[in-house]
Structure 1
Amino acid sequence: MYNLIRAELFKLRKNRSFWTLLMAFAVLSLAYPLLYYFDHRSSGQPQFTGAEFLVSFISSNAYIIKLGVAMLAGFFISNEYASGIMKTIASTGHTRDRLYAAKLIGFTGGAMLLSLVFPIISTVEVSLLSGFGQLPDESTPFFLPRLLGLTLLYTAAYAAIGALIAVIMTDSGKTIGGSLIFFLMIDIVLAGIGSKVEIIGQLYDYSIFKLIGGIGKPSIDSGDMLPLLLVPLLTIVLCALVGISVFRRKDIK
């Protein structure tokens, strides 16, 4: 299993699409704060400090996570079906359970790196321009580690869903398109149905799609912290098990 994971991480490091996404997100992370910087400068408004920018715009990172997972799933997982690599891997003698688990770990690692680009680069850039400032008074000393930790955890949950979509669709283009449509529409669909059907509304309230919006709060009550941790963990386990089941039965050509 260790060698399988190493192989997946090696393929991730050599994957040009991954590095292209990484560079694209880095450029976006540099450009996004500059728009606010020059706009505030021209209008005479006070500039964001690094801390203010991080707290105010961390919710925007959810779109980066969704886009990164969808694109990487297509280029890193589904693309191996078209290139014949998946067929070669499946015939190596390893069980499909281990093959899927290793690929999921490698894929999740790449998605996690992509998810950290925006909060880190943007905050550093704004801090260099206007200073870091101070975090909100209600925040704790563990705010930054908690924020980054939850970002990685929720990225892993989205990656588990993305990997499942990839193994179902197998085609790179369909995976990217299907994942993007799913990630962008699921909130609207669940919120709309949930407003009329109570059980769907409760399901949405305790889903990663709704809870990810709360990971950037300066202060989180202990009662709210438990679902913030358990829901993504359960999502990862459930999607991984379903993905393994699908991959076992998949006819790889």
Structure 2
Amino acid sequence: MYNLLKSDFYKLKSMKAFYILLLFPVIQAVGFSYFVPHATGNQTLNNSLSSQEFMVLFLLMGVFASIIITNDFHTGGIRSLISFGHNRMKIIYSKSVVYYFSIILLSLLFPIISTIINTSKNGFGLIVEGDLITAFFVRLLLLMLIYIAESSIFLVIAFITRNSNMVITTAGVIVVMNLILNMYVRKKQSLIGDIYKTTPYYQTTHLLNDPMTLEVIGSILLICVLTIMLCIIVTGFAFNRMDVK
């Protein structure tokens, strides 16, 4: 497992496309700070966290899954790992760790950079105390878990289809569906809305708009952890029965 992780992280570090894609949230952060010049650091942080899912984050999740996973199928990397006797579930775990690491890095760049820029210009807007710092880090950790859960669907699709176009198309569909369903849920109560609220894709709205209670934290943890586990189980079930050529 260690050798698999070492190899996959080395591949990630060597990919030019990885660094090019990381420029997108950096440019996004600079643009956000330029067009909202008078926002405090706190306002910028809240706005960037609540808006980035509706911008390019899901698309980049799909692109990263294509780079890290589907490309390895096309270049024969996965086939070589299997022929060398590596356990298929360990291959999934290794790819998942590297993929989730890249998603966390990707998702944090935009809010952190934009918040630093506007805090340096306008101040943070709140007195920074112990309780505020604790609440901030709890929200940040939960957001990282939410993003990992949201990106897990691309892990499944990348392993099952081995098709980059399919993964990226799915990302585009999720962007549109997330926008539609988020607006739909706000307008009226329905079965569709209730189902949507039990998915990871609603949890950012839940986290940022509702009071930080143990019930909210527990609900987010349960939904996200179950989603991640389910996606890895489905991926393992399909990959173990797959003929890799």
Q: What TM-score do you get using the length of structure 1 for normalisation?
A: 0.86
Gaps of 5+ in 2: none
Alignment of 1:42-81 (within 5 A): 47-63=38-54, 64-81=56-73
Counterpart residue number, 2:27: 27
- Residue identity over aligned pairs, in percent, reads 27
Deviates more, 1:242-251 or 1:112-121: 242-251
1:211 alignment partner, one of 203, 207, 215: 203
- 1:104 is matched by which residue type in structure 2? S
- Say if 1:178 and 1:55 are closer, same or farther in 2 by CA, change over 3 A: closer
Deviation at 1:62, TM superposition (A): 2.0
Q: Does 1:152 align with 2:183?
A: no
Counterpart-to-counterpart distance in 2, 1:72 and 1:55: 25
Aligned length: 242
Q: Is the 8 Å Cα contact of residues 44 and 111 (structure 2) preserved in structure 1?
A: no
Alignment of 1:195-206 (within 5 A): 198=191, 200-206=192-198
Counterpart residue number, 1:127: 119
Counterpart residue number, 1:2: 2
Q: Does 1:170 align with 2:162?
A: yes
Q: Is the 8 Å Cα contact of residues 8 and 98 (structure 2) preserved in structure 1?
A: yes
Q: Is the 8 Å Cα contact of residues 156 and 232 (structure 2) preserved in structure 1?
A: yes
Deviates more, 1:105-114 or 1:141-150: 141-150
Deviates more, 1:183-192 or 1:85-94: 183-192
- Say if 1:182 and 1:143 are closer, same or farther in 2 by CA, change over 3 A: same
Deviation at 1:156, TM superposition (A): 1.2
Alignment of 1:214-253 (within 5 A): 214-217=206-209, 219-253=211-245
Deviation at 1:31, TM superposition (A): 1.4
Q: Is the 8 Å Cα contact of residues 55 and 218 (structure 1) preserved in structure 2?
A: no
Q: Is the 8 Å Cα contact of residues 41 and 118 (structure 2) preserved in structure 1?
A: yes
- Say if 1:168 and 1:52 are closer, same or farther in 2 by CA, change over 3 A: same
- Say if 1:196 and 1:122 are closer, same or farther in 2 by CA, change over 3 A: closer
Q: Is the 8 Å Cα contact of residues 207 and 216 (structure 2) preserved in structure 1?
A: no
- Say if 1:208 and 1:120 are closer, same or farther in 2 by CA, change over 3 A: same
Q: 1:161-209, CA deviations, whole angstroms, 9 ceiling, x for partnerless residues? A: 111011122122222122321343256369869x7963x4432222111
Deviates more, 1:19-28 or 1:62-71: 62-71
SS in 2 for 1:142: helix
- Say if 1:245 and 1:187 are closer, same or farther in 2 by CA, change over 3 A: farther
Counterpart residue number, 2:90: 98
Q: Is the 8 Å Cα contact of residues 12 and 107 (structure 1) preserved in structure 2?
A: no
Q: What TM-score do you get using the length of structure 2 for normalisation?
A: 0.88
- 2:228 is matched by which residue type in structure 1? I
Counterpart-to-counterpart distance in 2, 1:102 and 1:173: 23
Deviation at 1:6, TM superposition (A): 1.8
- 2:198 is matched by which residue type in structure 1? Y
